[in-house]
Amino acid sequence: MVYFRLNCVVLYVVLLTKNIAFSQNECTSNRITNFTLSDDAIISWEPLPTEGCTIDYYLVYTRSGQEPERFFNVTDTVMDISSYMQICATAIIHVIPVSSEGIQGSNYMMITTMPLPSNVNFTIDYIRVSPSGDDGSVLFEWGINQEWRSCVRHYHLVIYDEDGDEAVDHFPTTTSYTLTNLVACTNYNFGVRAMYNLEHEGPLSFVKYVTPSARLPPPALESISLGSTTANVTFSLQPYLENRCHASSLSIFASPYFSVVYPITDQINRPAVTSSINNLLPDTLYLLNVTVNNTAGMSRPTLLAVQTLN
């Protein structure tokens, strides 16, 4: 077996010998050399005839991808196979020299990948982005000309967000990808390109997308201080970089005793909210229902039971 490397693809040339019976008056020309496939999809070889024996023609068999097997009788040692082989698909090619007496020589088989055409166009035809679930995930889909799809080894998906310092990269092999862990209320740029290898890749095509709004999770109790008629409670909120939907207020309800609303000045470093509740009754149990409001609406409540001092 002989190995060649063309276009970063390993090419195998296998000599399939066979026992051929012939008399001393018969000859068999059973050898060729330099059996190659060029970047232009042209196969070529050189004969190594046996002394006193002439090669009359060659049997050539080809098969690639979904294309049917084809058979040829040729006299030339150069053959263009680009018109009937599937581009970028695995190709199996046999060449068998035949002597002037009609005796077949050895079977030379090449297993390789059809080269990338010089006119390949890896431009993305369309991009479609749509929500794919209640968890905020997004289905990112794109298309490329069907003629070149078999040549794409993988795609390069790039994600930029408005506050991100670096892009996030993914390398899917299909024309769709589900993006998870996206931040609500965020402007994203999604880019995608088709790639054959590092030397052959298409241009990045971008689409802008704003993730839907999402409610904040329930406020988390951070600290509490109780007196006989007062309660000071502090609640932390989900960080801004995890949910960028504008937070507007924190509400505390203790029906039927009172309800208070505390405005929030939202910012990148989303602060905790401290509430000072006065005029409570001594030695009394209060059940607090605490929610936070943002552009998506009211969060699920945090339920907190507090007992004032005697």
CATH number reported for the structural domain that contains residue 81 in this entry: 2.60.40.10
Residue 119 lies in a domain: no
Do strands 168-170 and 124-131 pair parallel, antiparallel, or not at all (unpaired)? unpaired
Segment 209-240, tens digit of pLDDT:
999 999 999 999 999 999 999 999 999 999 99
Q: State the DSSP code for 147.
A: H
CA gap 139, 307 in Å, rounded: 49
Segment 246-265, tens digit of pLDDT:
999 999 999 888 999 999 99
Q: How many domains is the chain partitioned into structurally? A: 3
Question: Taking residues 16-27, what's their average pLDDT?
Answer: 49
Whether residues 181 and 255 fall in one domain: no
Whether residues 251 and 203 fall in one domain: no
What backbone phi and psi angles, to 5 degrees, belong to 146?
-60, -30
- pLDDT for 48: 82
Four-residue CA torsion sign, 79, 80, 83, 89: positive
Residue 241 amino acid letter: L
Could you tell me the residue range of the domain that residue 260 belongs to? 220-307
CA gap 234, 223 in Å, rounded: 5
Four-residue CA torsion sign, 73, 79, 84, 88: positive
Looking at the DSSP assignment, which residues form a beta bridge with residue 93?
62, 110
CA gap 133, 188 in Å, rounded: 18
CA atoms within 13 Å, Cβ hemisphere of 82: 12
The pTM of this model reads: 0.69
Residue 33 lies in a domain: yes
- pLDDT for 73: 94
Domain boundary among 149, 178, 210: 210
Residue 269 lies in a domain: yes
Question: Taking residues 123-152, what's their average pLDDT?
Answer: 88
- pLDDT for 25: 54
Whole-Å CA distances, 133 to 104, 162, 246: 64, 23, 22
Question: Which one is predicted more confidently, 116 or 252?
Answer: 252
Whether residues 176 and 257 fall in one domain: no
CA gap 176, 192 in Å, rounded: 10
